[in-house]
Amino acid sequence: MTESVLDYMTRLGRAAREASRVIGRASTAQKNRALQAAASALDSARAELVAANEQDLAAGRANGLDAAMLERLALTPARIDGMIVGLRQVASLPDPVGAIRDMSYRPSGIQVGKMRVPLGVVGIIYESRPNVTIDAASLCLKSGNATILRGGSEAIHSNRAIATCIQRGLAEAGLPAAVVQVVDTTDRAAVGALISMPEYVDIIVPRGGRGLIERVSRDAKVPVIKHLDGICHVFVDAGADLAKAQRIAFNAKTYRYGICGAMETLLVDQSVAASFLPPMAAQFREKGVELRGCPRTRDLIEAVPASEEDWNTEYLAAILSIRVVDGLDEAIEHINQHGSHHTDAIVTEQQGHARRFVAEVDSASVMVNAPTCFADGFEYGLGAEIGISTDKIHARGPVGLEGLTCEKYVVIGDGQLRGQEPV
């Protein structure tokens, strides 16, 4: 490229802003046509996708990427199937754009309501997984946004091949190519430029490790939908059905250790601790989960002493901290103080306790008699998710189509004037 990275990114930004006006007013049918055509294009391009991915994998191996990174990078036939299914699923979701709610007459005679509209241009910054390209592009397209995708440099050939399929879909639906743009340079300055163009980019979604998210949030001149820690709790209440509690806690921890909705701390009411903890601990021990407990826990089961730091740690591993609490109040207090406001659950048969837990736990997802590992866009019915927000404004929890939109006011009158008698 003879063009500087900044000029290149500015060009993408300007094109995205222009394309956002077209996709913002595109019909639902037109958007769905693009998604379906992109799915067909992926299906026809399996050989090209695998070949491009092989280039990335070979380069990755040569550059000494570890096994986990190579695994994330791989476009297996199953993952290609997943992308195709994902596109068709997003096409089948209801279109949020244009929905008008709460339209009502005011004393002046005007009607006021709210209409759901796209945000405009969404910038996505992600790491190795190339299938994120499809998740992000499809959700942004369906919600009427233009998008600029900046994937990991290790996946650039795969992302280019995927982008070609998306372009085919856009062209078939008569939509401009700039609705979805994949940044075609591995220069890291591209990220700095992308997060500093409020005139062209309305929101940034970083998807990746904590380091990436913190860096982007710190330096961005554009709002960021952040996803930080998931320190999730399950609280086993007094009088809980202990068999159900054990199933829920076991699933919450072991469904997958590495997901943000995995339970990291188990809180147990003192009145049930003696009956609940020994069989629960045996099941975890058999699975190979290391247990760290408070003194009262260690009176009942064998466990490593938990330090203060344990209550504030997202292990993402086969480690669980356990604390015996004096009741609902102490459980809520612990969660609001030590948790990360991500996802927390109560196991209880007491309706009043469920009601208080739901109202008073300040987390993006609060659950009753369900494991925290359910915190996921697919499980919630959003289709794919663009991320899980731990912010407190705009969108909390799994972010799907609705989180990629906002609402504007619509006012309909017939010549009413302000400060004068209604006509």
Alpha carbon distance 235, 259 (integer Å):
19
Residue 258 found at the interface with a second copy (CB under 8 A): no
DSSP classification of residue 224: B
Residue 210 found at the interface with a second copy (CB under 8 A): no
Quick one: 150 exposed, middle or buried, by C-beta within 10 A (0-12, 13-18, 19+)?
A: buried
Give which of 229, 260, 210 is closest to 374, Cα–Cα: 260
Question: In whole angstroms, how close is the CB of 243 to a second copy at the nearest point?
Answer: 9
* Window contacting a second copy (CB under 8 A); options: 1-9, 131-139, 172-180, 409-417: 409-417
Residue 371 makes CB contacts below 8 A (sequence gap 6+) with: 234, 248, 249, 251, 252, 255, 263, 345
DSSP classification of residue 372: G
Question: By rule CB under 8 A, what count of residues binds a second copy?
Answer: 68
Rg of the Cα trace of the chain?
24
Looking at the Cβ atoms of 181 and 363, the one nearer to a second copy is: 363
Residue 108 found at the interface with a second copy (CB under 8 A): yes
User: Which residue in this structure is represented by tokens 């612990």?
Assistant: 334
Looking at the Cβ atoms of 8 and 235, the one nearer to a second copy is: 235
Residue of 366, 384, 386, 401 interacting with a second copy (CB under 8 A): 366
Phi-psi region for residue 104, left (φ > 0), alpha (ψ -120 to 50) or beta?
A: beta
Quick one: 410 exposed, middle or buried, by C-beta within 10 A (0-12, 13-18, 19+)?
A: middle
Determine phi and psi for 265, rounding to 5 degrees.
-135, 135
Residue 394 found at the interface with a second copy (CB under 8 A): yes
Residue of 211, 258, 288, 415 interacting with a second copy (CB under 8 A): 415
Looking at the Cβ atoms of 162 and 178, the one nearer to a second copy is: 178
Residue 420 found at the interface with a second copy (CB under 8 A): yes
Alpha carbon distance 330, 333 (integer Å):
5
Question: In whole angstroms, how close is the CB of 23 to a second copy at the nearest point?
Answer: 12
Residue 257 found at the interface with a second copy (CB under 8 A): no
Report the number of secondary-structure helices (H) and strands (E) in the chain. 15, 16
Looking at the Cβ atoms of 292 and 338, the one nearer to a second copy is: 338
Q: H or E segment at 163?
A: helix 156-172
Residues 311-350 contacting a second copy, CB under 8 A: 336, 345
Residues 367-386 contacting a second copy, CB under 8 A: 367-371, 373-375, 379-381
Residue 195 makes CB contacts below 8 A (sequence gap 6+) with: 123, 125, 201, 204, 216, 219, 220, 221, 222, 224
* Window contacting a second copy (CB under 8 A); options: 4-12, 19-27, 60-68, 177-185: 19-27
Question: In whole angstroms, how close is the CB of 35 to a second copy at the nearest point?
Answer: 21
Q: Are 19 and 178 in contact (CB under 8 A)?
A: yes
Beta bridge partners of 69: none
Question: In whole angstroms, how close is the CB of 402 to a second copy at the nearest point?
Answer: 9
Residue of 176, 293, 339, 398 interacting with a second copy (CB under 8 A): 398
* Window contacting a second copy (CB under 8 A); options: 100-108, 133-141, 288-296, 305-313: 100-108
Strands 365-368 and 387-389: unpaired
Provide DSSP, 108-130: TS-EEEEEEEE-SEEEEEE-S-T
* Window contacting a second copy (CB under 8 A); options: 46-54, 170-178, 269-277, 402-410: 402-410
Question: In whole angstroms, how close is the CB of 380 to a second copy at the nearest point?
Answer: 5
Write out the two tokens for 30: 């037109």
Question: In whole angstroms, how close is the CB of 247 to a second copy at the nearest point?
Answer: 6
Give which of 127, 149, 141, 183 is closest to 38, Cα–Cα: 141
Residue 240 found at the interface with a second copy (CB under 8 A): no
Looking at the Cβ atoms of 2 and 337, the one nearer to a second copy is: 337
Alpha carbon distance 346, 367 (integer Å):
6
Residue of 182, 248, 266, 331 interacting with a second copy (CB under 8 A): 248
Question: In whole angstroms, how close is the CB of 391 to a second copy at the nearest point?
Answer: 8
Question: In whole angstroms, how close is the CB of 119 to a second copy at the nearest point?
Answer: 6
* Window contacting a second copy (CB under 8 A); options: 131-139, 157-165, 166-174, 395-403: 395-403
Alpha carbon distance 352, 385 (integer Å):
32
Residues that bind a second copy (CB under 8 A): 21, 24-25, 98, 104, 106, 108, 110, 112, 115, 117, 119-120, 202-203, 223, 241, 244, 247-248, 251, 255, 336, 345, 354, 356, 358-360, 362-371, 373-375, 379-381, 391-398, 406-420
